[in-house]
Structure 1
Amino acid sequence: LLKKKYLRLIYGDAMHEWKIFLCSVTTKDKYIQALLEESEHITTGRRIIKQIQLSIMDEIIRLYDQQLKNMSTNYARKKEGYLRDRCHFVKALDTRTDIKLDKMRQVQHSMAKTVENELINIQERAKHHYGRLIEETEKVKQDLEIFTNSEVIRLWEEYGNIISNYTNRTFDLRSDLIVLSDKEAANRQFLNTLSKKLLKLEVQIKTYSESCMNCKLQKIVAHYQPERDIYCNVTNVMRQKFRQFNDLDESQISYLSLVSNNAIKVLKEISDKIQTLLRYMSLSQRFETEEEKTLAVENDCEAYFPNIQTSHHHRLLNYQRIRKMNKLLR
């Protein structure tokens, strides 16, 4: 339960950070895609504007060409009319008087001057309008180039800022993920070692309790019973603390680490004492079995060989030595 809850806490924080990272990445990718689409729209708009400008210029040139053609046709028609009238005037020279001829010449001269002046004015106005049209088209081209260049520069700057922020954010998140993974590995290793030690101690305590049921070391067990109770209380407290581990703060976690270290020290001392007890038990059992074997051999020898008489003094010495060893062990 401790492992699962602790790993759930660590993985919850890591997954929350990873979700934030993915959301930021998706939003930035969407923003970059929108910028690219906007740049494509701008380029297409520039192409369309250029096409429209060229079509407008072609239309204006066509109109001016048509006006010039119309003017030239009108001029030719009027010129033909004037020449025809002049021919009529020349034919009428023989029949009309000199006064009428002078008047007709004056009218013809004045009409020719007016026609020439009108043609000159029309040509000057056409040149003026054509120059203004060229100037306006150049201004529009310059404004469009300046606007498009400024927009492209602004978009490239935004794109560079977005990419730099994206790289910085991803670097920070990667470093945080590496730190979290290292912490997770260290905590996992610590929990594995602690659980293994607890399992070993529980197995040793079970074997110790089962072996001490029918042995002669109840006094030693009674002597070490308070320490075992302390160990049980400490383990119960540790389990309760581990159950409340998800709701603790960092200060409480540090306090729990101190308590767990103290408990581990106590458990180590108790395990050392239990190992010494087990060693003493094995020694006592071995001496008891040796004593029983010697007594059984003596009884068998007396039963099967009644004529053989062992040294009573040697037997007493062996018995006293065994009693002393048993007393020392007890």
Structure 2
Amino acid sequence: MLFHPSRAVKDALADGRPVVALESTIITHGMPYPQNLETAQRVEAMVIENGAVPATIAVLDGRLHVGLEADALETLAQAKDVAKLSRADLAVCMAQGRTGATTVAATMIAAHLAGIATFATGGIGGVHRGAETSMDISADLAELAQTPVTVVAAGAKAILDIPRSLEVLETYGVPVIAFGQDNLPAFWSCDSGIKAPLRADNPATIAASHRLRGALGIAGGQLIANPVPMADEIPQAQISPIIEAALAEAADQGIAAKAVTPFLLQRIFELTEGSSLHTNIALVLNNAKLAAQIAVELSKT
């Protein structure tokens, strides 16, 4: 078998019960131990609380795991020099027997391989600012165009060029659906000020859309843009100058490619005195809740 399911995931898939895929870069590249472990456990608990089985995905010593047992989750949370895996890296990491954490793209690939249709993350990658010269565009966008998984996120990360990211998704034919509001969220902020192409107000509609795309033979997944709870947001007027300052520092230091996002998130954490991490955790929990509700609807026959 190409992947190793946890006991809970194996049983749920065999029984046709709802399962939600979860990425692992938030554990290895998002925050320090033990906060990363505590957050991962809270996210998994949120999925369970809303009626689904969590499947945190990672590569451990060359084995692709779909769902992590408690000891494996703790091992990953403390691991050093963990690779950050996207579509290009996943198979090589496995072939070399290495350990790697999955980004949105790699998590979608593994979820689809396992037969999991719903995935909760924080924010997707997208078109980086300055991409007209750097050509720095996340593989997440192309993955959404070809892999039939419904991805629940708080929009594209606010450090990115959201309008251009939206244009690329439109070109690829990916439905971008704001949940419960007309405008797209902007990761730490509820409202980007950019009107969403589509809107849905309940999990059942999202599940029905997922099924119909499959029935119509339309390739790719759906992006559900789920706003962070208002009580936990950092308003756009407050976070925007902080993002600009962090971007300027990255440019001055020549930071590029995969190093950009971790650097920016760390600097924004420092510049917001930790409030960005609080909001990040809140939005991931909120996305896990909605993804579980969608998975429950998809499991209904």
TM-score range (shorter-chain normalised) is under 0.3
Task: Give TM-score scaled by structure 2 length.
Answer: 0.22
Task: Give TM-score scaled by structure 1 length.
Answer: 0.20
- Which of the two has greater helix per residue? 1
**Structure having greater relative contact order (Cα 8 Å, sep ≥ 6):** 1
Instruction: Determine which structure has more spread, i.e. the larger CA radius of gyration.
Output: 1
